[in-house]
Amino acid sequence: MKLIIGLGNPGKQYEYTRHNIGFEIIDALADKWNAPLTNSKFNGMYATVHRPEGKVILLKPLTYMNLSGECVRPLMDYFDIDVEDIIVIYDDLDLETGKLRLRQKGSAGGHNGIKSLIQHLGTQQFNRIRVGVDRPPAGMKVADYVLAKFSKEDGPIVADAITKSVAAVERSLTKPFIDVMNEFN
């Protein structure tokens, strides 16, 4: 069984913001696979999808970004999912908007959602898809920037990043993640 986790914040005010790109990619997978996230457990919304490659759970933690691990760890324990069978999708300030970077391990790099996951999983070794949102303009606070919506000009770039992220997740169901990294990085 695979667990695909998109990080974000719940609530209308956070929809389509940079910090919620993980939620958007989970929604795109759910739409493509006709699997609405109607189940709720451990303060998260999820869907269980039976695919030819096996069972996949799509998860959006509703704990707010900084507490993501409080949802993910109990759900992994409940469904008996190993850390090597998860993929975490989230925004990254250190990548230009729309650029993807797949990794199998790494530090939190200042991302509080990843910090929470590392704390609750007890490891930095888990698959991740980082989606670039770029750095804020001079003088703008990081929190204000990541909680703002993408610009109109960024729309097509972000849409392309979502499409590529969906493709990377689908490819990871049939190939080792290292191969998917080589293809999408």
Q: Which active-site residues does the annotation give?
A: 19
Q: Which two tokens stand for residue 177?
A: 């993640």
Q: List, in sequence order, every residue forming a beta bridge with 58; answer none if it has no partner.
A: 4, 47
Which amino acid, one-letter code, is at 7?
Answer: L
The answer to whether 181 and 104 are in contact (CB under 8 A) is yes
Contact 14, 92 (CB under 8 A): no
Q: Are 1 and 57 in contact, with CB atoms under 8 Å apart?
A: yes
Both tokens assigned to 41: 């457990």
| Residue-wise burial string across 16-38, b where 16 or more C-beta atoms lie within 10 A, e elsewhere | ebbbbbbbbbbbbbbeebebebe
Q: DSSP assignment of 23-62, as one string?
A: HHHHHHHHHHTT----EEETTEEEEEEEETTEEEEEEEE-
